[in-house]
Amino acid sequence: MSSNIPEGLTANDPVENLAGKMTVSLQGLSPRVQNLHHRIKQFIEENVMALEALTVQRLSQPGINRWEIMPELEEAKAKAKAEGLWNLFLPLDSDPERKYGAGLTNLEYAFLCEEMGKSLFAPEVFNCSAPDTGNMETIARYGTEEQKQRWLKPLLEGEIRSCFAMTEPKVKPLNLELLERKELLEKIGET
């Protein structure tokens, strides 16, 4: 058992010393997850990292529309989807039948996220980017069949993107009276 104790600690150390220490390694995961990890890492190296340099090059050109969808990004997404590296995020407890995702636990998925996090575009290429992931999981868990058809299916296919917005009940988005008072006080030098 001592092999599971993080380096620099002993079995007699208080539990607080273990906070933030991960005692699970990639090698301790199933061969399926190890294979996914290898494939993700290789895919990023071969298909995604070049997109970042291409983006920098494009954005340096005068008159470029920065909001235009890059065809190369869409090609990488199609390739990832074809290779089964798509919708890996949906946790097993939210999709026990693996109807929508890869059926990974959050721990297993964490190792894939570590690789995806090394690139600006990787999460989108694998259809694993926020806020879509959280919105898809919410719809998968709690949505009606109609909502799943209308929103979840196109999100899972990568045909649409989603957003997240939040408001507070009974709170004005901007307190104009307070702003006006502050501006007045600044004008007369009382702040």
| Stretch 161-165: mean pLDDT | 88
47 touches 122 (CB < 8 A): no
Give the model's pLDDT for residue 41: 98
pLDDT bin (cut points 50, 70, 90) of residue 190 is: low
Domain boundaries defined on the chain: 28-129
pLDDT tens-digit series, residues 54-105: 999 998 999 989 889 899 999 999 999 999 999 999 998 999 999 999 999 9
Pair of tokens at residue 51: 């997109």
| Stretch 152-161: mean pLDDT | 96
Looking at residue 190, the DSSP 8-state letter turns out to be: -
* Residue 167 to residue 177: CA distance in whole angstroms: 20
Which is the CATH superfamily of the domain at 28-129?
A: Acyl-CoA dehydrogenase/oxidase, N-terminal domain (1.10.540.10)
**pTM strictly above 0.85:** no
